[in-house]
Structure 1
Amino acid sequence: MSALRLSRLSSLRALRHRDFALILSGAALSNIGTWMEVLALGVYVTKVTGRAEWTGGIAALTFLPAIVLSPLGGVLADRFDRRRYVALGTALEFLLAGTLATLAFTGNLTVGAVAVVSFLNGCVTSLFLPAFTALIASVVPKDDLHSALSLDSAQYNVGRICGPALGAAVVSLAGVEWALLVNALSFLAVLVALGFVRGVAPAPEAVRSESLWAGIAQGVKVARGDPGIALALLGTLAVAFCIAPFTALAPVMAIRVLDLDAGATSLLVGAQGTGSLVAALVAGSLADRFGRGRLLEWCLLLIGLMAAAYWLSPSLPFAVVAVLGLGSLYMLTNTGLATLCQSRVPGEMRARIASLSGMLLYAGFTAGVWLQGALADRLGVRLVTASAALSFFVLAVTLRSLRPRAFAVLET
C-alpha cells in the first residue's frame, strides 16, 4: 500500500513509519502466542478447579504486581534506551513462557505453578509495558499517535482472534503443553523486530540523573496537575474494575453460565477480538469525523450498557453479538484514554504517565476480576457481573450530568 493511500486512511497513517511497522509486526506475532496461552491456561484452571474464583484469581495474579511495580517501570523506561529495555523484558517473558511449557511437557504443571508463573509474568509486564507504550509514542509524530495506539490495539486483538482459535485447536489435538510451547517461541518475533529498530532517541541526561523516587513523584505531580490526564486515569480505573473482568472471565461465561466448552470460550474471546479489531481500523476516521473527545465521551456512556447486555445474554449467539459490540467499545475507550494521556505530556514523561495508567488499570482489574469471580460463586455470575456493568453506566451518566465541565477536557 502506497504512502499516499495510507495518508488518506487516518487509522493507518502510523504504518508509514518503518520503526513502528517493525514493532507492530513483532508484537502481533507474539500476541497470537500469548492468547493461545491465555485460552489454554484458562480452560485448564477452570476444568481442574471448577471455580470462577480460581479462574479470576489466577488472572488477577498477572496484574497484581503492577500496583507496586508499574510506577517504577515508568521511571526506568524514561531513564534507559527504550528499545533495549523492551528487549530485556521480552527475553524474560520468553524464559517464563518456556518454564510453563517445560512443566507441561514433563507432567508437572499444576494450578500452583500456573499461579506462581502468572505472578512473575505480572512483575515483568509491570516493569516493561510502560516502556513499550512510550516506545510506540517515540517512533511516530504526535499527529499519528492516535493511529499508532489504535493499530497497536488492533494487532493485540488480531492475537485475541487468532490465538484462542489456534489455542483451542492445539489443545484439542495435541494438549495444553503444545499451546504453551508456541507461546514461548512467539516472543522471538519481538526480539527480531527490535533488532532492526533504529530511530529511538536516548533519554535526556536530566532524566537519567534524577533519583527513582523523584522520577515517580514528578510523574504523579504532572498527572494530578493536568485535568485531562486526571480524568483519563480515573476513567481507566473505573473501566478496569467494572468492565474489564469480562476479558478474563470468558471461560466462566462459556462453561459456567452457558454450560458449553473450550470451543465456546474461543468463540467468545475471538468475537471480542473481532469487534476490537474492526473498531481499531476505523478509530482514526471516527475521531476525525466526530472529534476524539466526543468519541471517547460516547464510549464511556455506552460501554456499561453493552457489558450488561453481554452478561445477561440468554444464549451463545446472543452473547457473541453482544461481545462484538463490547469489544469495539472497550478498544475505543482504552485507546481514547491512552491517547489523551500520551498527547498531553512531553516525550521524557511518557513512560511515567503510561505507568500510572497501567498501575490503575491493573489495580482495578485485579480487584474487579477477583471480587466479581468470588461473588459470582456465591451470588450468581449474571447478577454480579451485570450489576458491576450497570454501576459503571450509572457512574458515567452521573458524572456527565453533575460535572459536565469534567468531560470538556476530553475535547482539548
Structure 2
Amino acid sequence: MLHITFASKNRLLPKLEVQDLSNSEENVTGPSHSPEPSHLSFFEKIQSAILHTFESLENRNFRLLWFGMVFSMWGIQMQMVARGILVYDLTGDYTITGFVGMGFAPSLLVVSLFGGVLGDRMERRSIIQTAQLVNGLLAGVVGILIFLDVVVWQHLFVVSMIQGAMFAFMMPARQAAIPSLVKKHQLANAFALNAMAMSIMSLVAPAMAGYVYQFIGAEVVYFVICAVMVSAVVFTSMVPKMYPSDRSIKDSVVRNMLAGFRYIGRNKVLLQLMIYSVIVALLAMPFRMLVPAYAKDVYRSAGSEVGILLTATGLGALVGSIAIANLREGHHRGWVLIGGAIIAGLSLALISGFPVFLAGVIAMVGTGIGEQARWALGQSVMMENSADEYRSRVMSVLMMTYGLMPLGMYPLGWSMEKFGAQQAVGIIAVLLIGFAVLAVFLLPNLRRIK
C-alpha cells in the first residue's frame, strides 16, 4: 500500500514522502479512483490536480532521470534552431538546410537497432551518460569552429550524424529503464512527463537560441549547448545503475534484432501502433526540420521570430503532454492518438493557407499538440504492451521512424523549391488528414486502445 505524506501545505508542489515503492499486486492494478472530497477548496483542488499530473516524480530515481532529460533536451532544442539558421545563413539553400537538419536520420536508421539490443543486454545508465557526454562535447567543438570562422555546412552535417547515433543509443535505453523506476499504474504518467521535459525545453530553448544567435553570436549558442548537455550527465550519474531483465536472451546481435521484429509482428497492438507512428511521422515531422527556412522565405522572419515559431510548437507540446499525463487506462486513448494526426494536419493546412506570421504561430501550437498524441502517448502504450526483455528493442524500432525522415523530408524540400512552400505544405496537410481518417477503419486495434 502506498502512503504519501505532505511535507508542507503551503507549497504548490509539496514534498512527497513515499513509504512503499514496491510494485505490489495492489499497485499493479492501478491507483484507487475514490471521488474527490467535495469540501476541498478551489486551491486545494488545483494542488490535487498538479500532484496527479506529476505523480511519478515522487520516485527519486525517476525524478533524477527526468531532470537529466530536461537538460539534455534543452541542449538538443537549442541546437536544432541554431543549426537550421546557421546552415541557411551559410548556404541560402532549402535542400542543404534540410539535408543537414536530417543528418541524424541515417545514423538513427542504422544504429537504432544496435542501440535497442544494447539496451536489452547492458547496464542502461552508462549508455545514457556516454551519449549525453559525447553530444555535449561535439556542441563545444562546433562552437570553437564558429569562433575561429572556419565552420562550413559539412562540419554541421558530420556532427549531426554522430549526435544522431548517440541519440539512437540513448533513447531506447532511457525509455526502457523508466518502467523499473516507477509503479506500473504510473507508467503512462511517467512517459507523458518525459515528453513534457521535451515540451518545456521546446517552449523555452528555441526562443533562447534564436535571441542569442541574433544578438550575441552563433558560437555562444553552441557553448551554452555544451554546458547544459554536460549538466545532464551530472543528474544521470545520481541514478543507480539500471540493469536489463535477467530474462533477456544473450544471443547474437543479429538474432536479437530479428527476435525484436518477430515480437512486434506477433503483437497486433504494437504492430498497428508502429505502422501508424511511422506514417504519421513521415508526413508530419519533415516540415519541422524546414521551419527556419520556411519562416525566412514566407514570413521574412529573423532568427528571433524563428525561435518564436518553434517555441509555439513547444507550447502546444506542453499542453498536449499535460493532457496525456492525466490519461489513464480506461480512457479512449486510441481515439486521442488518431485525433492527434487530425490536429497536426489541420495545423499544416492553416500554415499553408494563411502566409501570416500570427497564423503560423497559432498553427505551430497545433502541431505540437498533435505530435504529443503520437509520441508521448504512443510510447506509453507500447511500453505497457511490451515485455521488459523486449522494451529497448521495441523503442529502437520506433526510433527508426526518425531515420526514415529523409523519405518525407527530401520530397517536401524538393516540392517547396519546385512548386512553392505553401503549396507543398498544403499537400502534406491533405495526406495527413486523409490517413488519419483511413486509420479509423484500417487499424481497428488502434482505435480500441483504452
Q: Name the TM-score class by shorter chain.
A: over 0.9
Paired residues for 1:288-299 under 5 Å: 290-299=331-340
Match of 2:291 in 1: 250
Shift in Å, 1:218? 1.1
- Matched to 1:229, the amino acid is L
Shift in Å, 1:60? 1.2
2:199 to 109, 133, 157: 157
Match of 1:143 in 2: 185
Q: SS at 2:54's partner residue?
A: helix
Shift in Å, 1:127? 2.4
Q: CA distance change for structure 1 residues 219 and 10 in 2, over 3 Å: closer, same or farther?
A: farther
Match of 1:195 in 2: 237
In the aligned structure 2, how far is the partner of 1:404 from the partner of 1:64?
28
In the aligned structure 2, how far is the partner of 1:378 from the partner of 1:7?
50
In the aligned structure 2, how far is the partner of 1:308 from the partner of 1:259?
20
1:400 to 434, 437, 440: 440
Q: CA RMSD in A?
A: 2.0
1:389 to 425, 429, 438: 429
Shift in Å, 1:312? 2.8
Q: CA distance change for structure 1 residues 281 and 408 in 2, over 3 Å: closer, same or farther?
A: closer
Match of 2:170 in 1: 128
Match of 1:225 in 2: 266
Shift in Å, 1:8? 7.1
Q: Which structure ranks higher in relative contact order (CA pairs < 8 Å, sequence separation ≥ 6)? A: 1
In the aligned structure 1, how far is the partner of 2:249 from the partner of 2:259?
13
The Cα offsets for residues 346-368 of structure 1, whole Å up to 9 and x where unpaired, read as 112111000000012331x2321
Match of 1:181 in 2: 223
Match of 2:407 in 1: 367
Q: SS at 1:79's partner residue?
A: coil
Please list every run of 5 or more consecutive structure 1 residues that lacks an aligned counterpart in the other structure: none
Residues 1:259 and 2:300 aligned together: yes
The Cα offsets for residues 6-41 of structure 1, whole Å up to 9 and x where unpaired, read as 687443221111111111112212322222222111
Q: SS at 1:65's partner residue?
A: helix
Match of 1:344 in 2: 385
Pick the structure with more helix per residue. Answer: 1
In the aligned structure 2, how far is the partner of 1:284 from the partner of 1:58?
33
Match of 2:353 in 1: 312
Match of 1:277 in 2: 318
Shift in Å, 1:115? 1.0
Shift in Å, 1:72? 0.9
Please list every run of 5 or more consecutive structure 2 residues that lacks an aligned counterpart in the other structure: 1-12, 18-46
Match of 1:23 in 2: 65
Residues 1:96 and 2:114 aligned together: no
- Matched to 1:144, the amino acid is Q
Q: CA distance change for structure 1 residues 260 and 269 in 2, over 3 Å: closer, same or farther?
A: same
In the aligned structure 1, how far is the partner of 2:52 from the partner of 2:280?
26
In the aligned structure 2, how far is the partner of 1:339 from the partner of 1:103?
40
Shift in Å, 1:333? 2.0
Residues 1:237 and 2:278 aligned together: yes
- Matched to 2:323, the amino acid is V
In the aligned structure 2, how far is the partner of 1:87 from the partner of 1:47?
33
Q: Conserved in 2, the CA contact under 8 Å of 1:12 and 1:281?
A: no
- Stretch deviating more after TM superposition (133-142 or 375-384): 133-142
Q: Conserved in 1, the CA contact under 8 Å of 2:190 and 2:325?
A: no
Q: SS at 2:182's partner residue?
A: coil
Q: Conserved in 2, the CA contact under 8 Å of 1:138 and 1:347?
A: no
Shift in Å, 1:117? 1.1
In the aligned structure 2, how far is the partner of 1:110 from the partner of 1:313?
34
Q: CA distance change for structure 1 residues 238 and 404 in 2, over 3 Å: closer, same or farther?
A: closer
Q: Conserved in 2, the CA contact under 8 Å of 1:11 and 1:285?
A: yes
In the aligned structure 1, how far is the partner of 2:195 from the partner of 2:89?
30
Q: CA distance change for structure 1 residues 277 and 390 in 2, over 3 Å: closer, same or farther?
A: same
Q: SS at 2:189's partner residue?
A: helix
Match of 2:395 in 1: 354
1:376 to 402, 416, 436: 416
In the aligned structure 1, how far is the partner of 2:335 from the partner of 2:437?
14
Shift in Å, 1:398? 2.1
Match of 1:58 in 2: 100
In the aligned structure 2, how far is the partner of 1:357 from the partner of 1:252?
27
In the aligned structure 2, how far is the partner of 1:92 from the partner of 1:31?
14
Paired residues for 1:43-122 under 5 Å: 43-122=85-164
Q: SS at 1:91's partner residue?
A: helix
Q: SS at 1:101's partner residue?
A: helix
In the aligned structure 2, how far is the partner of 1:320 from the partner of 1:122?
28
Q: Conserved in 2, the CA contact under 8 Å of 1:134 and 1:354?
A: yes
Q: Conserved in 2, the CA contact under 8 Å of 1:32 and 1:159?
A: yes
- Return the TM-score normalized by structure 2: 0.86
In the aligned structure 1, how far is the partner of 2:271 from the partner of 2:81?
34
In the aligned structure 2, how far is the partner of 1:255 from the partner of 1:177?
21
- Matched to 2:416, the amino acid is A
Instruction: Kindly name which structure, 1 or 2, has the bigger radius of gyration based on alpha carbons.
Output: 2
Q: Conserved in 2, the CA contact under 8 Å of 1:6 and 1:16?
A: no
In the aligned structure 2, how far is the partner of 1:166 from the partner of 1:242?
28
Shift in Å, 1:206? 5.0
In the aligned structure 1, how far is the partner of 2:115 from the partner of 2:159?
19
Q: CA distance change for structure 1 residues 26 and 74 in 2, over 3 Å: closer, same or farther?
A: same
Residues 1:171 and 2:210 aligned together: no
- Return the TM-score normalized by structure 1: 0.93
Aligned length: 408
Q: CA distance change for structure 1 residues 187 and 404 in 2, over 3 Å: closer, same or farther?
A: closer
Shift in Å, 1:289? 8.1
